[in-house]
Structure 1
Amino acid sequence: MAECCSNLFTEFTFQDLTNAKPPSEKGVYVIKIKRKGKASPQEMIEKTKQLISGISWDLVVEFIMSRIKRLNNIGNCPIIYIGSAGTQERSKNTLKDRYEELSNRHTAMYPIWVLLHFGWELEFGWKKSNRPKQEEEELKIKYQKLHNGKLPALVAR
């Protein structure tokens, strides 16, 4: 896997996504592909669509698929998400909280679940920061400069 932008994340701590232990502090975080599975993004999207179409509730299927289709954006870069925790002045949201949200309400949770289901190995990386929103924006700008203006695969704007 390409290490096209690894120099942007040298100050980050990385741990396996399924059992990471980020701190209860403000900061910036990334989700990184450690090892790709055998199924391509297209295969994973199609199989997931077949599975969830059984829900028979178009509104739910459309919402979930809008998130899952972000898998099509995965290329050679291992960084697939950049985010921050504790961006509001009085925010109690921490890196640990954002990590836990990947299991129940994060915008990237559905595609992450699909990647894990299909055997992809992911890492959760973080860096503590007193100015997480600014650092997130700076990281995204640097990332885009290295990737022809594109954001990480699971980031949607």
Structure 2
Amino acid sequence: MLRAEALVRREGWIAPYPSDRIFFPAAIIFGVEQDYLDTHIVPFMKQNGIIAVSVPGLQKDLTEGIPAVLQPFWEEHMSFHSSEWWRALWKLSPDITIEHYFSHTRHSDAWNDWLQSSNPHAQDDISMIEAENGEYFDTIGLVATVH
């Protein structure tokens, strides 16, 4: 199964088993492309497998552009979206049923833990989170079952 081996290599996973047996009872990864689930995740999932993601996101989508306070920190590759945006994206897949989509109730705690870490990226995020002041960012969770 070359597709599974390619997925393992592209996503940086280390597979302790032959590539012809890669079927995941659960996957915890994400992509923002419209066909990502159907192309890169669902083919490797067992029926009734669970797809669960927790991603940095937004309380609501930025329909009027990036707010001035975030512009110094915003990078083109950032794919922050609201829970509604993620739900709409995942609903495009005929191969899953969305069980839950939500904003994490411990969003602030998660960010605070991250900012207190010694990771250089976390240290870079401190001024962004201070400028954002709890007005825009969120942590989004989605859970789906594969048909």
Q: Compare the two structures and name the one with the higher helix fraction.
A: 1
**Larger Rg, first or second structure (1 or 2):** 2
Q: Normalized against structure 2, the TM-score is what?
A: 0.28
TM score, norm. by length of structure 1? 0.27
Structure with higher strand content: 2
Q: Comparing both chains, which one has the higher relative contact order based on Cα–Cα distances under 8 Å and sequence gaps of 6 or more?
A: 1
